[in-house]
Chains A and B, each alone.
Chain A
Amino acid sequence: MATAVASPLVTAPRPLPRRPRVLFTGAAFGAAASALLVLTTLAVYLQLRADALASGATHLADDFLLPLTPGGMGMVTLSMSLVSVSWAVWALRRDDRPHAYLALGLTLLLGVAFVNSTVYLYQQLSLPLTGSATGGLLYIVTGSHLVMVVVGLVFIMVMGFQSLGGQLTGRDAEGMSAAALYWYVTVAVYTAIYYGIYITK
């Protein structure tokens, strides 16, 4: 049997082609669609509020004051999660798995804390859904954004499990980048909600 010493240039398998950025592109489209849906409801809220205030009426309910603290806490929580999700992507790209898991866990924790604070806000508001148009819209805007947050958390969780399984490491951390992109957009949308609903009231 003839044997030959193979040159590494001949025997080395071709490197795998760079993974196409399918998930990242799809996430960008999905994030744009979700953001526009929520921002549309916010735009309607702002328009009806402006109409109500222009007519001299109160727009939510008589003697009702929308508290600033829960919205502010939500903003701070989500802002911190921006750092942690970026940290997760950074660590995964460098195959630094312990830090990646820590950052992912922190992001999930902050996301759940945001959901918790929003639910708490709903309980404290004592604002009837059908009491006024803007009252109903307040729930629609924040509720649809809450759904966006939950979708983002599930996305991060799934990508986290994939990275636990070793699928998303090093150069192939595209899935986590996609989840992070969705999360950035989610936080950006909340910034608009925070300013439009809580700050300007």
Chain B
Amino acid sequence: MTVTEDAPAAAPASSELTAPAPAAPGLALILGSGDHKVVGRLWILAAFVHLALAGAAAIWVAVLRVDAQQLASDTPDFFAQAFTFRSIAGAFLFLLPLTVGVATVVIPLQVGAATIAFPRAAAAAAWTYLLGGGLVVSAYAIDGGALGDDTDGVRLFTLAFLLVLVALVVAWICIGTTVIALRPPGMSLRRVPLFAWSSLVAATVWVLNLSVLSGVVLIAYIDLRYGGPSGFIGGGAASLYTRISWMFGQPAVYAFAIPVLGFIASVVPVFSGTRHVQHRLAMVLIGAYGALAVGAWAMPAFGSDATPWLYEAPWVAASFAIVVPFLGLLGLWALTARQGTPKLASPLLYAAVSGVMLLVGLLAGALQAIEPITTLVDGDGASLYGTTVTTSVASYVVLAAVIAGLGGLVYWAPKVIGRSVTETGARLVALLLLAGTVLWSFPDLISGLLGQPAVPGTVTTDNVDAIKALNTVSVIGGIVLALAAVAFLALFVAALRSRDEPGDDPWSGHTLEWATSSPPPVGNFPCLPVIESEAPLYDARHQLEEATA
């Protein structure tokens, strides 16, 4: 019989099994780290670098677009590339990496995991994105890119873009796997916080959409590599942007806004001081929104009929149906706010602004799907699809996602950078973003109704003066958005230089990320609270209050 003095040490907890070793200091901390906080910060930082380039291109295109006749008669060099760069870089080099970065930092904390799933793959994805993003910019710089003139540059762009897509798919797989497989005991899938749930839905939708896009880009590369500039499969360099631009049309563009739903659902209960009403119903609605945002079926076809789905029943139905889950969520958030006492802190302001912008985008998308509504021009009006109404829908949805992403950075700043940003500054930026988004996107909606085509440079015979005035307002909106971006970065730089420590839980949050220090240590949690609902910290606070009473 075994005789012992002390019981042997118990087996380590699951979080200890998977916790990464402490990171090396200095440059090795960034280059060699698999810590999800470091990797997430890398994504966010690189995303902002690309924002500067995409934003500059967008404003330049907007300025030139003011006078369409002048642009048509004297199109500057690189205009076509700037036109495609602003969309591609804005979506794939800024917005998606920003979302991935925030999710990479927050999701493991929110689900109580010690690390992200496949930390080395997550780090490799971040570095691959950096390499691919740099090559995409380089390809544009040598007169390549989508609609570029230099064939080698176009080929380089195609390969680099494929690299970026692969990096994004891998990053989303890491995030989705974390939510599914690294939850601690007690946190069933039904108790997953709504931002984590929306990230899982987004991961699934993006893995589907980006894989299809990767297949199309692969064909485009072979087409260009062996068929020369005009290609032998799908039209070569001239049609390359068409192969990509379906991601900015409905329903695929709605996928950019899936994390918006999770962000709003995270902050509304916290700043109302109550639980989220009907948490499971909210999960179903977010899932339904995600399912309707799978848009690979509505892409320009390679065959003779490029848009066989346009104004057909599935496309029209999807355009209307996606409004329903969002309206349902709005109702739940209104009920949640009504049950509590809402406090208009900056994250709630960002949530409100992004929610309203997304609602306008979804409604504009539904409007666009009504075939009898045509452009207001002399003679027969044309369908709204392909006018700047399409651009406006994309702008509203994408900017709603950007505002939510920036709001997420404000809300989770203590966990991302270990500091809080100032409330006044954050609110001011939110208002600037609201003004900029409306000024940038709403004129496109009206000018589209007046017949302005989405691709600039085509002369419109009717309503030229009105369109010129509306385009001028859009330029002002672009400048306001640029100011907002600069002000936001200044806020973060100021926060980083500040010595004020935010505390572990400055917002009295409900979910697990607020149960650890700011910034979180390697391994994230020294210990976890008992998880009996989707809001374990809210439970703990209430139990303490009841015990005290």
Cβ contact within 8 Å between A15 and B219: no
CA distance A16 to B10 in the complex (A): 9
Cβ contact within 8 Å between B232 and A41: no
Chain B, Cβ-Cβ closest to A24: B181
Chain B residues near A13 (CB-CB < 8 A): 8-11
Chain B residues near A133 (CB-CB < 8 A): 232-234, 302
Cβ contact within 8 Å between A6 and B2: yes
Which range holds the interface residue count of chain A? 35 or more
Chain A residues near B226 (CB-CB < 8 A): 129-130, 136
Stretch at the interface among A45-53, A63-71, A78-86, A119-127: A45-53
Chain B residues near A15 (CB-CB < 8 A): 11
- CB proximity to B under 8 Å, residues A134-166: 136-137, 140, 144
Cβ contact within 8 Å between B215 and A40: yes
Stretch at the interface among B203-211, B272-280, B339-347: B203-211
Chain B residues near A14 (CB-CB < 8 A): 10-11
Q: Chain A 1-32 against B: per-residue CB contact (8 Å), 1 yes, 0 no?
A: 11111100011011111001110111001101
Q: Chain A 77-100 against B: per-residue CB contact (8 Å), 1 yes, 0 no?
A: 000000000000000000000000
A176 an interface residue at 8 Å Cβ cutoff?
Answer: no
Interface centre among B8, B176, B219, B227 (most CB of A within 10 A): B219
Cβ contact within 8 Å between B303 and A47: yes
Chain A residues near B303 (CB-CB < 8 A): 47-48, 50-51
A61 an interface residue at 8 Å Cβ cutoff?
Answer: no
B284 an interface residue at 8 Å Cβ cutoff?
Answer: no
Chain A residues near B17 (CB-CB < 8 A): 16-17
Query: If A6-B4, A14-B10 touch, does A37 touch B211 (CB 8 Å cutoff)?
Result: yes
Cβ contact within 8 Å between A37 and B233: no
Chain A residues near B208 (CB-CB < 8 A): 32, 36
Query: If A29-B176, A48-B303 touch, does A11 touch B8 (CB 8 Å cutoff)?
Result: yes
Chain A, Cβ-Cβ closest to B9: A13
A38 an interface residue at 8 Å Cβ cutoff?
Answer: yes
Chain B, Cβ-Cβ closest to A37: B215
A12 → chain B closest CB, angstroms: 9
B321 an interface residue at 8 Å Cβ cutoff?
Answer: no
B301 an interface residue at 8 Å Cβ cutoff?
Answer: yes
CA distance A24 to B296 in the complex (A): 26
A73 an interface residue at 8 Å Cβ cutoff?
Answer: no
A192 an interface residue at 8 Å Cβ cutoff?
Answer: no
B483 an interface residue at 8 Å Cβ cutoff?
Answer: no
CA distance A14 to B7 in the complex (A): 11
B498 an interface residue at 8 Å Cβ cutoff?
Answer: no
Cβ contact within 8 Å between B211 and A1: no
CA distance A16 to B9 in the complex (A): 12
B169 an interface residue at 8 Å Cβ cutoff?
Answer: yes
Cβ contact within 8 Å between B14 and A6: no
Chain B, Cβ-Cβ closest to A17: B14
Query: If A41-B218, A129-B226 touch, does A29 touch B7 (CB 8 Å cutoff)?
Result: no
B399 an interface residue at 8 Å Cβ cutoff?
Answer: no
Q: Chain B 10-31 against A: per-residue CB contact (8 Å), 1 yes, 0 no?
A: 1101100110000000000000
| Chain B interfacial residues counted at CB < 8 A | 48
Q: Chain B 126-169 against A: per-residue CB contact (8 Å), 1 yes, 0 no?
A: 00000000000000000000000000000000000000000001
Cβ contact within 8 Å between A38 and B14: no
Chain A residues near B212 (CB-CB < 8 A): 36-37, 40
B1 an interface residue at 8 Å Cβ cutoff?
Answer: yes
State which of A4, A10, A144 has its C-beta within 8 Å of the C-beta of B5: A4
B3 an interface residue at 8 Å Cβ cutoff?
Answer: yes
Cβ contact within 8 Å between B177 and A11: no
Query: If A11-B8, A16-B11 touch, does A26 touch B118 (CB 8 Å cutoff)?
Result: yes
B138 → chain A closest CB, angstroms: 25
Query: If A22-B182, A47-B301 touch, does A5 touch B215 (CB 8 Å cutoff)?
Result: no
CA distance A36 to B123 in the complex (A): 24
Cβ contact within 8 Å between B5 and A41: no
A76 an interface residue at 8 Å Cβ cutoff?
Answer: no
Cβ contact within 8 Å between B232 and A136: yes
CA distance A140 to B219 in the complex (A): 7
Cβ contact within 8 Å between A137 and B118: no
A44 an interface residue at 8 Å Cβ cutoff?
Answer: yes
Cβ contact within 8 Å between A21 and B173: no
B426 → chain A closest CB, angstroms: 35
B291 → chain A closest CB, angstroms: 15
CA distance A50 to B301 in the complex (A): 12
CA distance A2 to B4 in the complex (A): 10
Cβ contact within 8 Å between B222 and A26: no
CA distance A32 to B172 in the complex (A): 13
CA distance A76 to B212 in the complex (A): 28
CA distance A177 to B304 in the complex (A): 43
A109 an interface residue at 8 Å Cβ cutoff?
Answer: no
Cβ contact within 8 Å between A136 and B117: no
Cβ contact within 8 Å between A48 and B302: yes
Show 30 A/B contacts (Cβ-Cβ < 8 Å), sorted by A.
A4-B4, A11-B2, A13-B8, A13-B9, A13-B10, A16-B11, A16-B17, A20-B18, A22-B118, A22-B182, A25-B181, A26-B174, A30-B173, A32-B208, A32-B211, A33-B173, A33-B207, A36-B212, A36-B296, A40-B211, A40-B214, A41-B215, A44-B219, A44-B233, A47-B302, A48-B233, A133-B234, A136-B232, A140-B218, A144-B215
Given contacts A44-B219, A137-B219, A140-B219, 20 further A-B contacts (CB under 8 A): A4-B4, A4-B5, A11-B4, A11-B7, A14-B11, A15-B11, A20-B14, A20-B181, A21-B180, A26-B177, A40-B215, A41-B215, A41-B218, A51-B303, A51-B304, A132-B232, A133-B232, A133-B233, A136-B233, A137-B233
Closest 3 CB pairs of A and B: A40-B215, A36-B211, A29-B173
